[in-house]
Amino acid sequence: MSKTGKATGKVYLIGAGPGAADLITVRGARLLGEAQVVLHDALVAPEMLAWCPQAKLVEVGKRCGKRSTAQLFINRQIVDMATKFERVVRLKGGDPMLFGRADEELQALEAAGIAYEVVPGITAALAAASAIARPLTKRGVSRSVAFATQAKAADGSEVPAAADIQADVRADTLVYYMGRDQAAAIAAQLIAHGKAPSTPAWVVESVSTPRQRSHAFTLQQMAAGEAAGWIDPAQPSLLMIGAALAARATEPVLDVTEPVAAKAA
């Protein structure tokens, strides 16, 4: 029973992974197949929803730069669905616990006395590293990784950029989520705070999907705006920066801008 006295079900916060339907965990896929209702992010691929043909589908997600559902309303929807259904899934892109607003949704569930379980997913940074065949850590080169975002703080204000960059630059490898529009500014600030201009810098778009593309730059090239003309503003993208992302001496020369599936065809 919830604090309102109504019978409640259980809510599962499930990470959908980076995009490909077969990169969800086995547990996540099983729970989708048992769900009565699925509240899913806008970026969750239709192929992913094939795991739950029996469920009522409710799109509640956000797209960068587009009209989206307010988080407070999403919280209320999840709680409301849990008073009507026994098995409710909140399906979130990537991993729920990384840039997924999970804390706000968990607080809402806890305040309403509703049971929940969090099922992890593959976050885009890990999938992107695999896609470009570059490790995020490398013996003798990179022993620390930072996942960062240039999104606004909870109160809507901009987090102080200088403090962010000083913290980021201490990590050997950096991965910026939602940094597409600020690639040149981010790169310039990193150089200004001590990152070498020759540091490898990648852009990876729509990782693990048929639209996947990737392109390598140096940090200096990114700071000069060269990435801006390559990035597709309609696609989710990551900025990946660090010495561990450099080409290997043993690596064959490949056109890495094409999707992996296209090369295999």
In the three-class reduction of DSSP (H, G, I as helix; E, B as strand; rest coil), residue 190 is classed as helix
> Looking at the chain, which residues constitute the CATH 3.30.950.10 domain(s)?
124-264
Q: For the segment 147-180, what is each residue's pLDDT rounded down to a tens digit?
A: 998 755 555 555 445 657 788 899 999 999 988 8
Task: Supply the DSSP symbol for 191.
Answer: H
User: Looking at the annotation, which residues are catalytic?
Assistant: 41, 62
pLDDT of residue 62: 62
Q: For the segment 171-228, what is each residue's pLDDT rounded down to a tens digit?
A: 999 999 988 888 999 999 999 999 999 999 999 999 999 999 999 999 999 999 999 8
**Within 10 A of 69 (CB to CB), how many other CB atoms are there?**
16
Give the strands of the sheet with 87-92, arranged side by side.
Answer: 56-59, 37-40, 87-92, 10-15, 115-119
Identify the residue with better confidence: 23 or 155. 23
Please say whether the beta carbons of 137 and 145 come within 8 A: yes
- Assign domain 10-119 one CATH number from 2.60.40.1220, 2.60.40.10, 3.40.1010.10, 3.40.50.150: 3.40.1010.10
Mean pLDDT for the chain overall:
88
Beta bridge partners of 90: 13, 39
Beta bridge partners of 44: none
Please, which pLDDT band fits residue 263 given cuts at 50, 70 and 90? very low
Please say whether the beta carbons of 152 and 158 come within 8 A: yes
- Assign domain 124-264 one CATH number from 3.30.950.10, 3.30.70.890, 3.40.50.300, 3.30.360.10: 3.30.950.10
Give the strands of the sheet with 213-218, arranged side by side.
Answer: 145-149, 173-177, 237-242, 200-205, 213-218
Please, which pLDDT band fits residue 7 given cuts at 50, 70 and 90? low
In the three-class reduction of DSSP (H, G, I as helix; E, B as strand; rest coil), residue 205 is classed as strand
Q: Which candidate, 211, 15, 261, places its Cα nearest to that of 123? A: 15
